[in-house]
Amino acid sequence: MEKNRTMNLSDKYIASTYSRLPIVITKGNGCRVWDSDGKEYLDFVGGLAVCNLGHCHPNIVEAIKEQSNRLIHVSNLYYTEPQAELAKLLIENSFADKVFFCNSGAEANEAAIKLARKYTKEKGKDDQPEIITMTNSFHGRTMATITATGQEKFHKGFEPLLPGFTYVPFNDIQAIEKAIDRKTCAILVEPIQGEGGVNCPSDNYLKGLRKICDNHGILLIFDEVQVGLGRTGTLFAYEGYGVKPDIMTLAKGLAGGVPIGAMLARKEVVESFSPGSHASTFGGNPVVTASALATINTILKNGILQNCIEVGEYFFKKLTQLKRQYPFIKEVRGKGLIIGMELEFDGGDIVKECMDRGVLINCTMGKTLRFLPPLIVTKGEVDKVIRVLDDMFSGI
Catalytic positions: 138, 223, 252
Most distant CA pair in the chain, distance: 64
Stretch binding ligand PLP (CB under 6 A), from 58-66, 160-168, 219-227, 233-241: 219-227
Q: Minimum Å distance from CB 101 to ligand PLP?
A: 13
In terms of CB distance, is 161 or 392 closer to ligand PLP? 161
Minimum distance, C-beta of residue 383 to ligand PLP, in the bound complex (Å): 28
**Does 191 contact ligand PLP by CB under 6 A?**
no
* Min separation Cβ 192 and ligand PLP, Å: 9
Do residues 170 and 196 lie in contact, with contact meaning Cβ atoms separated by under 8 Å? yes
**Contact pick of 57, 117, 139, 278 for ligand PLP (by CB under 6 A):** 139
- Please give the torsion angle defined by the CA atoms of residues 66, 72, 76 and 81, in that order, rounded to the nearest 10 degrees: -10
CA distances from 319 to 46, 322, 339 (A): 18, 5, 9
Which residues are within 8 A (CB) of 10 and not within 5 positions of it... i.e. 6 or more apart? Answer: 20
Query: Measuring CA to CA, which residue among 46, 49, 47 is closest to residue 237?
Result: 49
Question: By rule CB under 6 A, what count of residues binds ligand PLP?
Answer: 15
Task: Report the alpha-carbon distance of residue 175 to residue 153 in Å, rounded.
Answer: 22
Q: Cα separation of 286 and 295, whole Å?
A: 14
Question: Cα–Cα distance between 250 and 49 in angstroms, integer?
Answer: 12
227, 338 in Cβ contact below 8 A?
A: yes
**Residue sitting closest to ligand PLP (CB):** 105
Task: Return the number of the residue (226 or 272) whose C-beta is nearest ligand PLP.
Answer: 226
Q: Which is nearer to ligand PLP, 180 or 251 (CB)?
A: 251
- Residue 237 interacting with ligand PLP (CB under 6 A): no
- Our finding on whether 335 is near ligand PLP (CB under 6 A) is no
257 forms part of the interface with ligand PLP (CB under 6 A): no
Please report, for residues 112, 222, 303, 378, the alpha-carbon distance to residue 95 in angstroms, rounded to integers and kept in the order given: 15, 12, 22, 31
Site string for ligand PLP, 140-179 (x = CB under 6 A): x---------------------------------------
Q: Applying CB under 6 A, does 194 fall inside the site for ligand PLP? A: yes
251 binds ligand PLP (CB under 6 A): yes
Subset of residues 100 to 119 that bind ligand PLP, contact rule: CB under 6 A: 104-106, 109
- Comparison of 29 and 136: residue with beta carbon closer to ligand PLP: 136
**Pairing status of strand 362-364 against strand 368-371:** antiparallel
- Whole-number Å distance between alpha carbons of 230 and 93: 12
Is the torsion defined by CA of 313, 319, 322, 327 positive or negative?
Answer: negative
Q: State which of residues 95, 119, 138, 316 lies at the interface with ligand PLP (CB under 6 A).
A: 138
Residue whose CB is less far from ligand PLP, 36 or 136: 136
Where does the chain have alpha helices with state H? 2-13, 46-49, 58-70, 81-92, 105-122, 143-148, 173-179, 205-216, 267-270, 286-301, 304-325, 348-356, 379-393
The answer to whether 187 contacts ligand PLP (rule: CB under 6 A) is no
Report the residue from 190, 246, 342, 381 that binds ligand PLP according to the rule CB under 6 A: 190
Beta carbon nearer to ligand PLP, 194 or 389: 194
| Site for ligand PLP, rule CB under 6 A | 104-106, 109, 138-140, 190, 194-195, 223, 225-226, 251-252
